[in-house]
């Protein structure tokens, strides 16, 4: 009779361990999917930029340094690729910094474009500007969803006794997107670009 009890207890422990492991895998895959969605939206933005740059170049005698800054920032941002299973706070910060530089360069491009009425009259420019604005909203939403998935995974991973199994099988915490440094301050508008 004692043998049966021992086997039942062992069976419950094994089934519980399998259930916890499978739960961790499911949570990790939710984070991976959310990360893929973030990358998709950033890629969408990167794909729109060459069309925007070509439209700006063709419609006005535009500041070359502004266009060059966008081209260089795009090149840098698209060079950084991170595998979802290899997300670390340092790598995410590097990725986020490159994307922020691109956002800043795009912002300057669009701000300077306001000084060119002939450019604003080009329908293609207005359409691209609208698509970029929509893409920025999609990026923001994808980042929020990623952070939610990472928070759910991290909380699940850290609960006892799951944390023992997580550490044993190499399930590590996933980093979060954070606000850009200095974003807590409202920008000052001085009329200079």
118 band by pLDDT with thresholds 50, 70 and 90 = confident
For residue 56, give both structure tokens: 């700006």
Q: Residue 10 class from Cβ within 10 Å (0-12 exposed, 13-18 middle, 19+ buried)? A: exposed
Least Cα distance to 92 among 135, 30, 150, 29 occurs for 150
pLDDT tens digit sequence for 51-109: 888 888 766 566 778 888 899 999 999 998 888 888 899 999 999 999 999 999 998 88
pLDDT the model gives residue 191 = 47
Which residue bears the tokens 């920025």? 136
Instruction: Please report the DSSP string for 161-187 in residue order.
Output: THHHHHHHTT--PPP---PPTTTTSPP
Segments of the chain assigned E as strands: none
pLDDT per position as a tens digit, 163-178: 999 999 999 999 999 8
CB-based contacts of 21: which residues, under 8 Å, 6+ apart? 165, 169
In degrees and rounded to multiples of 5, residue 171 shows phi and psi of -80, 115
> What secondary structure letter does DSSP report for 129?
H
| Cβ atoms 155, 171 nearer than 8 A | no
Handedness of CA 119, 125, 130, 131 (dihedral sign): negative
């Amino acid at each position: 009779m004692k043998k049966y009890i021992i086997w039942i207890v062992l069976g419950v422990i094994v089934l519980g361990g399998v259930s916890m492991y499978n739960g961790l895998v499911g949570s990790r895959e939710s984070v991976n999917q959310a990360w893929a969605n973030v990358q998709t939206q950033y890629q969408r933005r990167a794909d729109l930029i060459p069309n925007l740059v070509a439209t700006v170049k063709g419609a006005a005698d535009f500041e070359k340094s502004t266009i060059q800054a966008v081209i260089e920032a795009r090149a840098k941002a698209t060079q950084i690729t991170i595998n979802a299973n290899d997300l670390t706070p340092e790598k995410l910060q590097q990725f986020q910094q490159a994307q922020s530089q691109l956002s800043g360069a795009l912002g300057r491009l669009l701000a300077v474009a306001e000084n060119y009425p002939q450019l604003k009259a080009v329908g293609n420019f207005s359409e691209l500007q609208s698509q970029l604005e929509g893409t920025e909203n999609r990026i923001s939403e994808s980042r929020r969803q990623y952070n939610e998935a990472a928070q759910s995974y991290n909380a699940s991973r850290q609960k006892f006794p799951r944390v023992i199994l997580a550490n044993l099988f190499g399930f590590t915490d996933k980093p979060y997107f954070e606000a850009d440094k200095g974003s807590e301050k409202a920008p000052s508008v001085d009329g200079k670009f």
